[in-house]
């Protein structure tokens, strides 16, 4: 004879639902067992597995118990369909986030490896990213700038997944880089590689471009140590027959208590009059 009832222990093992959870569902009336015997042992019918699987699915999506009770008592599928559509969008956004986070972790590990040889300078195509820029906090004489920046950050309405994939940045104008004024910052801000097509919540897209790139490790509060890195980069750009073609970007990849690990990008282009066939 086919066994159609199961003890609470069997249900727990088969459906991977803790016994205490099943007892709690019974206590609040979410899903009482089919019957109890004279020893008060709980028995569940095979058909109750469907309800338990549904409850487990909804709880995995963080649907509150009270809402699950209402859904199970509903006589149509309108509310559950609306809920599932909403949760599907959440899951798709999380999949995008986790995919981007995985890529970022791989890239960050590779970037950290490059700090082992901070003398290397290379030509690379800077990846597409999104930036939120403010006036330079260090250079501005506006005493209200700090509160303005705070308000700007609070008003960000893009999906907050960008927060786990962002870095603090500083921007030095092309003119100041050429003039050797490496600490006269044009902007501060944050940079994220999380895709923000559509509503970007104040972020601007930073288009890919050819850059000279160098990694630098400096002591905390000693940004003057960046000077020789910039000088080496400018010499490298000159040797390559190129010219500085845009504002430099300093990305603070990692902070220790006494060290900053910074990635520097300087956009470059061919020297005027070269590469045109003349």
Query: Residues 85-124: pLDDT tens digits?
Result: 999 998 988 898 888 889 888 888 888 888 887 789 999 9
- How large is the average pLDDT for residues 199-219? 86
31 confidence band (pLDDT: 50, 70, 90) = very high
Residue 54 φ then ψ, to 5° = -65, -45
| The two three-digit tokens of residue 104, written as one number | 């970022």
DSSP state of 223: G
> Would you state the torsion angle of the CA atoms of residues 191, 197, 202, 206, taken in this order, to the nearest 10 degrees?
40
| The two three-digit tokens of residue 96, written as one number | 């995008």
Give the right CATH number for 5-73 from 1.10.10.60, 3.40.640.10, 3.30.70.1290, 1.10.1660.10. 1.10.1660.10
User: Looking at the predicted structure, is the pLDDT value of residue 240 above 50?
Assistant: yes
Q: What is the pTM of this model?
A: 0.68
Q: Are 68 and 80 in contact (CB under 8 A)?
A: no
Least confident of 156-165, 234-243, 251-260: 156-165
Domain(s) of CATH 3.20.80.10: residues in the chain: 111-270
Task: Please tell me the CATH superfamily of domain 111-270, with its number.
Answer: Regulatory factor, effector binding domain (3.20.80.10)
Would you state the pLDDT for residue 1? 47
H/E run at residue 211: strand 209-219
Q: What confidence tens digit (pLDDT) does each residue in 135-162 have?
A: 765 544 555 545 555 666 666 655 667 7
Residue 139 φ then ψ, to 5° = -100, -25
Q: Are 237 and 243 in contact (CB under 8 A)?
A: yes
| The two three-digit tokens of residue 84, written as one number | 């599932």
- How large is the average pLDDT for residues 180-199? 82
Question: Number of helices and strands (H, E) in the chain?
Answer: 8, 12
- How large is the average pLDDT for residues 126-142? 71
- How large is the average pLDDT for residues 159-171? 80
User: What sections of 8-139 are H helices per DSSP?
Assistant: 8-15, 19-27, 48-60, 65-73, 78-114
Q: Tell which residue, 173, 177, 170, has the closest CA to residue 253.
A: 170
273 confidence band (pLDDT: 50, 70, 90) = low
User: Looking at the predicted structure, is the pLDDT value of residue 250 above 90?
Assistant: yes
């Amino acid at each position: 004879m086919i066994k159609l009832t199961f003890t609470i222990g069997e249900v727990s093992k088969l459906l991977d639902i803790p016994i205490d959870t099943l007892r709690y569902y019974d206590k609040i009336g979410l899903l009482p067992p089919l019957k109890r015997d004279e020893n008060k042992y709980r028995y569940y019918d095979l058909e109750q597995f469907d309800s338990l699987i549904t409850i487990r699915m909804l709880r995995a999506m963080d649907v509150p118990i009270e809402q699950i009770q209402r859904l199970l008592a509903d006589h149509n599928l309108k509310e559950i369909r609306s809920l599932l559509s909403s949760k599907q969008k959440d899951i798709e956004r999380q999949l995008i986030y986790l995919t981007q986070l995985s890529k970022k972790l791989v890239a960050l590990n590779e970037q950290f490896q490059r700090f082992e040889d901070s003398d290397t300078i290379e030509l690379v195509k800077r990846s597409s990213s999104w930036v939120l820029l403010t006036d330079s906090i260090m250079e501005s004489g506006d005493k209200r700038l700090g509160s303005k920046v705070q308000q700007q950050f609070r008003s960000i309405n893009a999906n907050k997944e960008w927060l786990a994939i962002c870095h603090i940045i500083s921007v030095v104008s092309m003119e100041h880089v050429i003039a050797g004024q490496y600490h006269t910052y044009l902007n501060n801000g944050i940079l994220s590689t999380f895709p923000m097509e559509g509503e970007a919540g104040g972020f601007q897209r930073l288009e890919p471009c050819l850059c000279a790139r160098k990694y630098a490790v400096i002591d905390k509060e000693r940004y003057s140590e960046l000077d020789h890195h910039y000088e080496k980069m400018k010499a490298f750009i000159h040797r390559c027959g190129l010219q500085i073609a845009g504002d430099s970007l300093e990305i603070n990849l990692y902070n220790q208590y006494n060290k900053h690990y910074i990635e520097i990008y300087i956009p470059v282009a061919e020297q005027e009059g070269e590469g045109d066939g003349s």
